[in-house]
């Protein structure tokens, strides 16, 4: 049985992360193995390591953390026992759960056995086979074949138009910068907005569209206020992050 990291606070409280790797990064950045959406949490706040049959945690942030009753100073480490709470920030807490062998392992997906089995050629009585051979098979005349062909063409055309519309809606605009470019450009001037964008993208990647929309809408409103302020000051009001956010909202709607 596996070991899990359970998020016990914040908007993703209750999420259980199966531990598959002996080393996992923990933080608010979407590239971490364990993503904890929190404005107070560093992009890489800690590291989880499995070694010698135990889990160790390392504080990679600039602030003290707590593991159980133990204070974990910056760059410090300690053993993380099952059931202990790892407090990374005021709204970011994790708990270790172990079921049996604590060693990391790949998540197992249950597969359903096939209920269809090949039937033997002699599974039907000979009398039934003879009856089937003697049954008259209905045939389609030319008019019916034309009707069937027209129906098939209509269905194919409808499916093609539907797929074209969907691809058009989901194809990213070529003039939009990538997420990495936006984060690199905005980290200094818009640190809070950059963190919000990372949370929104993390929710989108984890297939949580409602949470993603909530973060994207809040980010959009903040960026619109900033854009209005720039216009009042007669400064350039182009905000690439705003364009990117609006494009993401169109995809999750």
Q: Is residue 124 part of a domain?
A: no
- 15 and 91 co-located in one domain: yes
Q: Is 160 helix (H, G, I), strand (E, B) or coil?
A: helix
Confidence of residue 70 (pLDDT cuts 50, 70, 90): very high
- 164 and 185 co-located in one domain: no
Q: Is residue 116 part of a domain?
A: no
Q: Which domain holds residue 160?
A: 142-168
- 185 and 238 co-located in one domain: yes
Quick: pLDDT tens for 191-246: 778 878 888 888 887 788 888 888 889 889 988 988 888 888 888 777 888 888 89
pLDDT of the residue at 142: 66
Q: CB-based burial of residue 213 (10 Å sphere; 0-12 exposed, 13-18 middle, 19+ buried)? A: middle
Quick: pLDDT tens for 22-57: 999 999 888 899 999 888 899 999 999 999 999 999
- 163 and 183 co-located in one domain: no
Between residues 247 and 111, which one has the greater pLDDT? 247
- 162 and 237 co-located in one domain: no
- 43 and 66 co-located in one domain: yes
User: Which regions of the chain does DSSP assign to beta strands (E)?
Assistant: 3-7, 16-18, 23-27, 34-35, 46-51, 54-59, 65-67, 70-72, 77-80, 85-89, 92-98
Mean pLDDT (the chain) is 79
Q: Is residue 60 part of a domain?
A: yes
What are the distances in angstroms from CA 66 to CA 61, 89, 137? 12, 9, 78
pLDDT of the residue at 91: 87
Mean pLDDT value across residues 14-22: 90
Q: Total domain count for the chain?
A: 3
Q: Is 17 helix (H, G, I), strand (E, B) or coil?
A: strand
Phi, psi of 132 (to 5 degrees): -65, -35
- Residue 26 maps to which CATH number? 2.60.200.20
Confidence of residue 171 (pLDDT cuts 50, 70, 90): very low
Label residues 218-249 b or e (16+ Cβ within 10 Å = b). Answer: ebbebbeebeeeeeeeeeeeebebbbbbeebb
Q: Is residue 105 part of a domain?
A: no
pLDDT of the residue at 75: 94
């Amino acid at each position: 049985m596996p070991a899990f990291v359970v998020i016990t606070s914040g908007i993703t409280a209750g999420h259980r992360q199966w531990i598959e790797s002996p080393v996992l990064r923990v933080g608010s950045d979407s590239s971490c193995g364990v993503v904890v959406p929190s404005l107070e949490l560093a992009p890489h706040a800690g590291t989880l390591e499995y070694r010698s049959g135990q889990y160790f945690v390392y504080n990679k942030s600039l602030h003290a953390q707590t593991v159980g009753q133990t204070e974990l100073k910056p760059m410090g480490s300690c053993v993380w026992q099952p059931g202990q709470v790892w407090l990374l920030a005021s709204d970011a807490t994790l708990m270790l759960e172990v079921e049996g062998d604590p060693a990391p392992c790949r998540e197992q997906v249950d597969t359903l056995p096939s209920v269809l089995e090949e039937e033997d050629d002699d599974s039907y009585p000979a009398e039934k086979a003879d009856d089937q051979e003697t049954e008259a098979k209905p045939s389609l005349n030319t008019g019916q074949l034309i009707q069937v062909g027209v129906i098939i063409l209509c269905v194919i055309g409808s499916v093609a138009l539907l797929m074209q519309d969907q691809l058009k809606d989901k194809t990213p605009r070529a003039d939009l910068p990538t997420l990495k470019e936006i984060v690199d450009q905005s980290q200094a001037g818009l640190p809070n907005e950059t963190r919000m964008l990372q949370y929104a993208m993390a929710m989108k990647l984890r297939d949580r569209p409602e949470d993603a929309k909530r973060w994207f809408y809040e980010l959009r409103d903040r960026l619109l206020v900033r854009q209005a302020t720039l216009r009042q000051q007669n400064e350039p009001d182009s905000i690439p992050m705003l364009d990117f956010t609006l494009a993401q909202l169109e995809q999750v709607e």
